[in-house]
Amino acid sequence: MHNTMALNLEVFGVDLVGEGFVDISNDFCITGDSAFVLETCMLIISVRNSIENWLRDCSGLVVVNSCLRALNFEGFCVDLVGEGYVDISKSWCICGFVMETCMLIISVSKCVVFFECFGFDRCSILETSMDHSSEEESEISESEINEYGNIYYEALKNGKHKVKLSDSNFSCPFCPGKKKQTYMYKELFQHASGVAKGSKSRSNKQKANHLGLAKYLESVLAPTVSSSAPTDVKAPPKEQKKNELFVYPWVGIVVNLPVELKDGRYVGESGSRLRDELTSKGFNPVRVHCLWSRHGHSGKAIVEFNKDWPGFNNAMSFEKYFETSHQGKRDWYARKFRGSNLYGWIARGDDYNSEGIVGNHLSKSRDLKTIADIVSEEERKTDTLVKKLATTIEDKNRDLKEIEYKYNETHMSLRNLMHENDELHDKYNKEISMMQQSARVHFKKILDEHEKLKSGLDSQRTELEKRTKELKKREAQNESQKRKLEEEREKNAARNKLLHMATLEQEKADKNVLMLAEDQKLEKQLDAKQALELEIEGLRGSLNVMKHMGGDSSEEDSEVKKKVEEIHNSLKEKEAELEDLEDLNQTLIVKERMSNDELQEAKKELINRMGELDSKPFQDSCKQKYSVDEAEERAVVLCSTWEDYLRDPEWHPFKVIEVNDKHQEIINKEDEKLKELKGELGEEAYNAVITALTEMNEYNPSGRYIVPELWNFKDGRKATLKEGVSFILRQWKLHKRKRTN
């Protein structure tokens, strides 16, 4: 099946069309389970290897290489390395995004099409791919590993695979997917030996080809490497040292650092200087940590390297540098006289398990591992990651199907909505056109009205300009008129004050309603008295007239006398009646005064002037400070001053607080005037002012003048109408009993 896939790229949704273009319009998507993804990767391997083998045998590589770059082959995550080889290791990874794999298929397809443009047959290219694919798929057993290892060894000897890139750089032809492509001889030999004998995650075929590579490196390339290498460089590690324990992450040990004794402790330079020296020599340490004991600087330091394989190479180069200078680990322990030179080596198991400051430091922060353990751990992590990502791909595909179903459902509803939207849009357009028509009519009407208003405003503006000119002429006259107006305002203010006083008097008169009946009786009696006095005066006048009238005869004279006597008798009766009325009037006047006094006392008991300042606390306070005569005068002055303060609307010693979600206005006890009053006259005068302020703010906050109010002095609150009427009836009954008695 893989051969068919290698021959037919269209299986993966990639069509090859004329002039090197790639058609990905036909459902370009990789879906399915993890097996399908693995088949995709196998196709990539086969096509890649076929292109690699074909490029090795063809001529004109420089032209092909430059043309491939002209096609921007690197845009699809494919790099071109040495002599026209196509390196797709950066994209060939199931762990990456599926999209990278798809783009890789496109890039390989473009490469095949491009080769056809140079006259090469696609079938010949894909046949090579088919052969190589069948070779990849033919799995071998464990008993055949050595046999196939010899076959790969012979292929390497014949130059079928390129291993040596330069005198010091080598590559593994069987691991194109690894990130690390360039090795030193020792590193490549360790890699090949580790895969051939120590890797559990590799297939038997991979073990066989890496076994052949290790044999090729040891028998063919080892002599050339040893002849070109310096005489003091050691040979690659032997097989028995492959399980050697290293301290991981990689660290180096530097000893014999210069120290000196100061103040009873050893001191030395910091590790940063040593780190800079090692960095300048190309070892790239991460950090240098000097070891200190209770005596001070120990003269030893730990050199930390990166925990990856480049860090291991730097650590090994670090060790080789000191070994070539005869300042390695063996030299340190072998020499008795070490001088002032630094000694260094990479930390291993014996250093880890040693007693002392170095062993204690390493055992606290590091582990012991072999190279094979580290490689197997990385491979295990990679396999785990691959499995997790494969599971993630399956979950994503499942989610994709659900999303596709929802998409179709949404698409249908959206299509219906679009149809409804079109209908609404048409209806909307019709309504808009009708509204625009009516708006145009309305706008025209508004314009006409605007023109009329504009003409009216122009005429009014002209009239105003005329009036302005007249006003400027009359400006001098207005000054006198202003003075008159001010005088009128003052008169009006005086009138308003009088009206206010009249209003207060009217209120007082209204409260004296109970006395109206008695007043009316007195008026009637007074009218009767006046009528009687007039009648008496009339009789006296008649009597005088009759006295002066003289008759001509005695008969007339006697009649006149009779009339005079009658008038005189009547006058006496009237005078007696007048005396009785005067006595009654005097009695009523006395009773009226008594009733009025009783009424005033009742009013004092019933009516309170809200906001009136009580002068008694001021008098008591002044009596404590001054003499009797001076205290009265001082009390009057202080009471008058505070009455003025109370009537001043600009003085507002109140603040607003929130009680039960309601705003309430209370006295601000921190007011400067109130604090001064309390300190000067005491608590009673202060409370009197507070009471007057509270009453005035409650009954007349805007006018700030005293307001009469029915008051219950017993309970200290505003009296109800019922309480006032009851009190008046009780007083009336009491006075009635007194009069009866």
Q: Could you report the per-residue pLDDT of 592-645, keeping only the tens digit for each? A: 677 666 655 555 554 555 567 788 888 888 888 888 878 888 888 888 888 888
Furthest-apart CA atoms within the chain: distance in Å: 204
Instruction: In whole angstroms, give the CA distance from residue 37 to residue 229.
Output: 46
Helical packing angle, 672-681 and 683-699, nearest 10°: 140
User: What are φ and ψ of residue 299, in 5° steps?
Assistant: 80, 10
Identify the structural domains of the chain with CATH numbers, from first to last: 1-138 (no CATH), 245-369 (3.30.70.2890), 374-473 (no CATH), 513-608 (1.10.287), 612-705 (no CATH)
Instruction: In whole angstroms, give the CA distance from residue 343 to residue 282.
Output: 17
The 3-class SS string of 327-377 reads CCHHHHHHCCCCCCCCEEEECEHHHHHCCCHHHHHHHHHCEEECHHHHHHH
Quick one: pLDDT band at residue 707, thresholds 50, 70, 90? Answer: low
pLDDT given for residue 5 in this prediction:
33
Q: Could you report the per-residue pLDDT of 316-375, keeping only the tens digit for each? A: 999 999 988 888 888 888 887 888 889 999 998 888 888 888 888 888 888 888 888 888
Quick one: pLDDT band at residue 509, thresholds 50, 70, 90? Answer: low
Instruction: In whole angstroms, give the CA distance from residue 661 to residue 667.
Output: 19
Give 615's DSSP letter: S
Q: Could you report the per-residue pLDDT of 59-98, keeping only the tens digit for each? A: 333 333 433 333 333 333 333 333 333 343 433 333 333 4
* Nearest CA among 47, 179, 154 for reference residue 171: 179
Instruction: In whole angstroms, give the CA distance from residue 738 to residue 725.
Output: 20
Residue 285 has pLDDT above 50, yes or no: yes
Q: Are strands 15-16 and 22-23 parallel, antiparallel or unpaired?
A: antiparallel
Q: Could you report the per-residue pLDDT of 634-644, keeping only the tens digit for each? A: 888 888 888 88
Give 243's DSSP letter: T
Q: Could you report the per-residue pLDDT of 206-239, keeping only the tens digit for each? A: 888 888 888 888 878 766 654 444 433 333 333 3
Instruction: In whole angstroms, give the CA distance from residue 501 to residue 576.
Output: 46
* Nearest CA among 523, 522, 542 for reference residue 534: 542
Residue % of the chain over a pLDDT of 70: 59
Burial class for 357, CB neighbours closer than 10 Å (0-12, 13-18, 19+): middle
